[in-house]
A and B are shown apart, each in its own frame.
Chain A
C-alpha cells in the first residue's frame, strides 16, 4: 500500500486569499488525484494531476481556481485560489497503486471565513 501525507492538515483562511496544499507519497506513482468533500457531502473528483503536463479537470472545476502542480512522481500540490466560504471543505489527494487500488491521504480540512 502507499503511504500518503498532506500538508497542512487543517487551516483557517480569510476570503480572497489562496492556500496551497501539498501531497507527498512514499513511492513513485503514475496517477494522482485531488478530491473535495464539502460539508455533509460525499467526495467529488476535482482533477487528475499529470506529471510533466497540465492537470485534467473534471466538469465544474477550472485551472484558474484550482491550479495543480505535479513536478515528479511522488509529489503534487493543489492551490485553492481567491477563496470564499463555499470553498470550506476537506481536500484529499489520492494515488493509484500498481495493483490498481486507490489510496487516499489524510485530508486537509479548510475553513474559509
Chain B
C-alpha cells in the first residue's frame, strides 16, 4: 500500500518567516491534496495538484508537484499566526480513482507572534 511521508513532523517558526513542508511517496501520485486541520476539527481544503510539474498558489501558500509526481511541497511565505495548524497531504496511487486517499501523518505548524 502507498505510504506518504511528511516532513518535518513539527515546525515552529517566528511570524514573518518562510517555511516549507514536504510530502513524499515511493509511488506515482494521482491527485495530490493539501489540507489544513485545526486540532480536533475537520479538514480545510487548500489545493489539489494532478499534473507533474504543476504549481498552484493561493494567498501566501504555494504548492508544487514534481515532474515524477512522487513529491509535493507546500511553501508558506511570510507566515502569520493564522497559518498555525496541522498540514496534511493526501493522495491516491491508483490512476482513475484519485478520490480514495491515503494521508500522511501531518506536520504541526506553530507560528510565534
Contacts and interface: CB of A to CB of B under 8 A. Distances in A.
Interface of A: 1, 4, 6, 31, 33, 41-45, 48, 58, 90, 92, 94, 96, 100-107, 109
B43 interface: yes
A107 B99 contact: no
Contacts of A109: 40
20 contacts: A1-B45, A42-B103, A42-B104, A42-B105, A42-B106, A43-B101, A45-B100, A45-B101, A45-B102, A94-B43, A100-B48, A100-B98, A100-B99, A101-B33, A102-B45, A102-B99, A102-B101, A104-B43, A106-B41, A106-B42
Contacts of B45: 1, 101-104
Nearest to B45: A103
Contacts of A106: 41-42
Contact of B48 (A6, A48, A101): A101
Interface residues of B, number: 20
Contacts of B103: 42-44
Nearest to B50: A100
A96 B42 contact: no
B99 A31 contact: yes
A107 B88 CA distance: 15
B31 A100 contact: yes
B41 to A, nearest CB: 6
